[in-house]
Amino acid sequence: MSVDLSTFSNPEYNPGGILKRGFWYFFNAFFLLNPYNPFGGLKRGVLRMFGAKIGNGVVIKPRVNIKYPWFLEIGNNVWIGEGVWIDNLGKVKIGNNVCISQGALLLCGNHNYKKTSFDLMVGEIIVEDGVWIGAKSIVTGNVICKTHAILAAGAVATGNLEKYSIYKGNPAVFLRERNMEK
């Protein structure tokens, strides 16, 4: 047995019509991926226009890539750093007061390596209140980053992150508790 990508088919996955996805492709390139667009209000407005639920005080830096805004929910006072890629083939829900640092990846899609057809697998990502996703880190589908968890720079979360905990490494492992001070 071997992988045969010519047999790949995922007719049950329908992220939206071809026109909707096509229009979004160009709006994403012009308004979010564009490094010369510093206007956060314009970015938030475009995301809302395409069905994203965006709270107040959301900061979106340049070169952010969002696959499908209609699968995106962002709370209040969220910072999304430069070069973040939210590859939300499925739903991504981001709570309040979350920081997603530069170059981080939120990846809802994966492939079933056991199937010769390399079937698509999609899982949701939930990032609860107060979470910090470090620079160049990765969160995969079906992961919940529980309240105030930290994923250190370069770490890869393939399983849930417990509340008030710090994780590092690939795959991410518990390092220590996050103790908050005023």
pTM: 0.96
Q: For the purposes of burial, counting CB atoms within 10 Å of the CB of 108, is it exposed (0-12), middle (13-18) or buried (19 or more)?
A: buried
Q: Is residue 68 domain-resident?
A: yes
Q: Is the pLDDT of residue 21 over 90?
A: yes
pLDDT score of 38: 86
- Is 128 a domain residue? yes
**Residue 114: C-alpha distances to residues 134, 141, 157, 162 (Å):** 31, 18, 21, 29
pLDDT at residue 146 greater than cutoff 90: yes
34 occurs within a structural domain: yes
Residue 74 lies in a domain: yes
CATH number of the domain enclosing 32: 2.160.10.10
Q: What integer is the mean pLDDT of 14-34?
A: 96
In a domain, 1, yes or no: no
Residue 10 lies in a domain: no
Q: What is the pLDDT of residue 88?
A: 97
Residue 182 in domain: no
Cβ atoms 109, 90 nearer than 8 A:
yes
pLDDT, tens only, 123-136 = 999 999 999 999 99
> Residue 66: inside a domain, yes or no?
yes
- Give the chain's mean pLDDT: 97
Could you list the residue range(s) of the whole structural domain that residue 68 is in?
15-177
State pLDDT tens for residues 37-96.
988 999 999 999 999 999 999 999 999 999 999 999 999 999 999 999 999 999 999 999
Residues 60-80 as b or e (16 or more Cβ within 10 Å = b)? bbbbbebbbbbbbbbbebbbb
**pLDDT(180) > 90:** yes
Say how many domains are in the chain.
1
